[in-house]
């Protein structure tokens, strides 16, 4: 794939972490996805956390800075599952959803729609989700604006197999965005640390756990039938945190007693501040190409830095996937508060992904 054809898709959540639209460096991305709208009881699309018209206008206005930028609206996101379940069961509600999507796109000069249903499951929802995408594709193709249609999908094979008719999805959408993060999270039945978005499996991982990495997820979706020029590989700018059980057992798969501060999440600038103030110490897992931080209060943090992002982008470039999806603009060091340039992770993605392919 020519470097000019590659995409850099990034999600933006309205004013989260203080990031205003005018502060976004839109030269670094090809697609901006504003999240997240919700499916309402009547099947129409509600504003959700986007704050509606105010945010739509401000984000679309960024196209003045980068006329090639594509701006999409995302429906769904974590915690917005039930609206999809009800809507896809009923043809009238499904048609209302399609009608509502086109109306929003027309009214606000958007370039398309992203669906982030987390997650369809079972034969019925699997079939009806494919039907929804087919109906959207048909309606979008008939519309003079020819809106884009993208879908955010899981990386884990049980979720893929249980909820996605991959060949039909591949035919209906323009891009498939793999959410190849949250691959290891604290759970009461799995109380161990692990990398949020490892490129490769860890040294101690076996069986199912050996599949929880970016390389496996990308190959899984390609093998199921998505062309590589539609597959976009997700990377996070946020980190996940655990509370360690022991001070002396601190690597990946160390026992943990719960999530860390701030609900188990952190941002890249917060990690950088820990390192600059010596309240945390960074380590590098050379097997999975992933950094992590251990703090003095026994907090374990999985995150991504420029080096891990560089390794992932190199993989995407050399394997000829369509590009990178980043979640999100808000959790990068967008202000440069940590003494570096602003949006350092996005700048790494941009500079590495658009390199001419090496022999």
CA–CA distance, 273 with 279 (Å, rounded to integer): 8
Backbone angles phi, psi at 172, to 5 degrees: -85, -30
177: β partners: 152, 232
Task: Please give the structure tokens belonging to residue 174.
Answer: 């323009």
Nearest to 346 by CA among 8, 21, 6: 8
CA–CA distance, 217 with 154 (Å, rounded to integer): 9
- Selecting among 47, 99, 118, 352, the annotated active-site residue is 118
Residues 6+ apart with CB under 8 A from 82: none
Rg (CA), the chain: 20
Contact 245, 186 (CB under 8 A): no
Backbone angles phi, psi at 182, to 5 degrees: 60, 30
279-286 contacts at long range (C-beta below 8 A, 24 or more positions apart): 283/251, 285/195, 285/198, 285/202, 285/251, 285/252
CA–CA distance, 175 with 149 (Å, rounded to integer): 7
Catalytic annotation present for 118: yes
Backbone angles phi, psi at 133, to 5 degrees: -65, -40
Looking at the annotation, which residues are catalytic? 118
């Amino acid at each position: 794939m020519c470097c000019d054809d590659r995409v850099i898709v990034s999600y933006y959540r309205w004013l989260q972490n203080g990031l205003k639209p005018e502060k976004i460096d839109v030269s670094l991305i090809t697609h901006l996805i504003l999240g997240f709208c919700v499916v309402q009881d009547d099947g129409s699309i509600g504003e959700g956390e986007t704050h509606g018209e105010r945010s739509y206008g401000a984000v679309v206005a960024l196209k003045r800075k980068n006329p090639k930028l594509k701006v999409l609206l995302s429906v769904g996101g974590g915690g917005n599952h039930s609206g999809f379940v009800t809507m896809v069961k009923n043809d009238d509600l499904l048609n209302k959803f399609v009608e509502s999507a086109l109306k929003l796109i027309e009214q606000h000069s958007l370039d398309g729609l992203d669906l982030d249903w987390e997650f369809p499951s079972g034969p019925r929802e699997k079939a009806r989700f494919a039907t929804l995408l087919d109906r959207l594709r048909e309606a979008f193709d008939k519309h003079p604006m020819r809106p884009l249609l993208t879908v955010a999908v899981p990386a884990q094979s049980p979720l893929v197999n249980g909820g996605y008719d991959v060949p039909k999805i591949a035919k209906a959408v323009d891009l498939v965005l793999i959410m190849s993060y949250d691959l290891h999270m604290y759970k009461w039945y799995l109380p161990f640390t692990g990398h949020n978005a490892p490129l490769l499996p860890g040294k101690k991982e076996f069986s199912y756990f050996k599949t929880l990495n970016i390389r496996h997820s990308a190959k899984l979706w390609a093998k199921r039938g998505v062309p590589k020029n539609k597959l976009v590989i997700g990377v996070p700018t946020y980190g996940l945190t655990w509370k360690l059980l022991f001070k002396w057992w601190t690597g990946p798969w160390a026992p943990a007693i719960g999530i860390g501060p701030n609900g188990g999440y952190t941002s890249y600038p917060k990690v950088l501040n820990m390192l600059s103030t010596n309240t945390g110490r960074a380590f590098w897992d050379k097997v999975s190409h992933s950094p992590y931080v251990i703090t003095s209060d026994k907090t374990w943090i999985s995150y991504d830095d420029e080096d891990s992002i560089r390794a992932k982008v190199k993989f995407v470039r050399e394997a000829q996937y369509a590009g990178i999806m980043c979640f999100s603009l808000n959790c990068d060091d967008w202000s440069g508060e940590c003494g570096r340039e602003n949006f350092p992770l996005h700048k790494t993605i941009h500079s590495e992904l658009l390199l001419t392919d090496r022999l």
